């Protein structure tokens, strides 16, 4: 038996709600969704599809970001640009999209990076946020679910590159 924390239908509902909240703020505007690879992938794809129901002029780009070794943050955030064009953030309304907010160090670094690269404004959107782990003064602007401070996998979230393909989210157990 798999201990599912959030099922496919739970996740669909949350993503629909997040898209509606983003639409309240950005209806009629243009938005660059900036996904953080690799964990953002299923969430970003579903969020895009939900946003297509709202009148938002949408573009998508990615940054490759890493900080985790096994089940703990290394505290050092490495950012690698994927887009060929250096000016891809300039004058844009950027929403940084990540799978999970834990210490907050990743989102904090990326938000600063996006502002330094000339964005008109930057917001952040995460599917999950871990309670009591934030080591920064920032909080995500859009957050799907608050979870306990456990290590979770599935729906893009990995443990050493495994489990990203699961359509649901579960807590990683010790014998995995």
Which one of 99, 102, 141, 158 is the catalytic residue?
Answer: 102
Using CB under 5 A as the binding rule, whether residue 39 contacts Mg ion is answered as yes
Question: CA distances (Å), 168 to each of 8, 17, 112, in order?
Answer: 5, 17, 31
Q: Which stretch binds Mg ion (CB under 5 A): 32-40, 82-90, 129-137, 138-146?
A: 32-40
In angstroms, the CA 137 to CA 148 distance is: 19
In angstroms, the CA 32 to CA 119 distance is: 10
Question: CA distances (Å), 155 to each of 4, 39, 42, 94, 101, in order?
Answer: 12, 8, 6, 23, 15
CA angle 148, 72, 150 (to 5 degrees): 15
Tokens 């599809």 belong to residue: 49
Q: Taking CB within 5 to 8 Å according to partner kind, which of ligand IMP, Mg ion, none is near residue 117? A: none
Using CB under 5 A as the binding rule, whether residue 42 contacts Mg ion is answered as no
* Strands annotated E in 11-71: 30-37, 57-69
Output 24 or 149, the one with its CB closest to ligand IMP: 149
Output 94 or 106, the one with its CB closest to ligand IMP: 106
Q: Taking CB within 5 to 8 Å according to partner kind, which of Mg ion, ligand IMP, none is near residue 56? A: none
Q: Quick check: is 57 catalytic?
A: no
# of chain residues touching Mg ion (CB under 5 A): 1
Contacts with ligand IMP, residue ranges (CB under 6 A)? 36, 39, 67-68, 73, 98-106, 151-153, 157-158
Give min distance, CB of 43 to Mg ion, in A: 11
Give min distance, CB of 157 to Mg ion, in A: 8
Active site residues: 102
């Amino acid at each position: 038996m798999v201990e599912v924390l959030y099922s496919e239908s739970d996740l669909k509902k949350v993503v629909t709600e997040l898209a509606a909240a983003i639409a309240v703020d950005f209806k009629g505007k243009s938005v660059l969704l900036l996904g953080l690879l690799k964990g953002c992938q299923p969430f970003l794809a579903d969020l895009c599809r939900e946003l297509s129901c709202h009148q938002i002029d949408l573009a998508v780009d990615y940054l490759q970001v890493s900080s985790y070794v096994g089940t703990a943050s290394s505290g050092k955030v490495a950012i690698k640009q994927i887009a060929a064009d250096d000016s891809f953030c300039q004058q844009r309304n950027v929403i940084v999209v990540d799978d999970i907010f834990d210490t907050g160090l990743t989102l904090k670094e990326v938000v600063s990076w996006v502002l330094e690269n000339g964005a008109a404004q930057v917001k952040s959107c995460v599917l999950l946020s871990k309670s009591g782990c934030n080591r920064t003064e920032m909080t995500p602007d859009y957050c799907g679910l608050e979870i306990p401070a456990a290590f979770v996998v599935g729906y893009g979230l990995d443990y050493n590159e495994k489990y990203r393909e699961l359509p649901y989210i579960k807590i990683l157990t010790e014998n995995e």
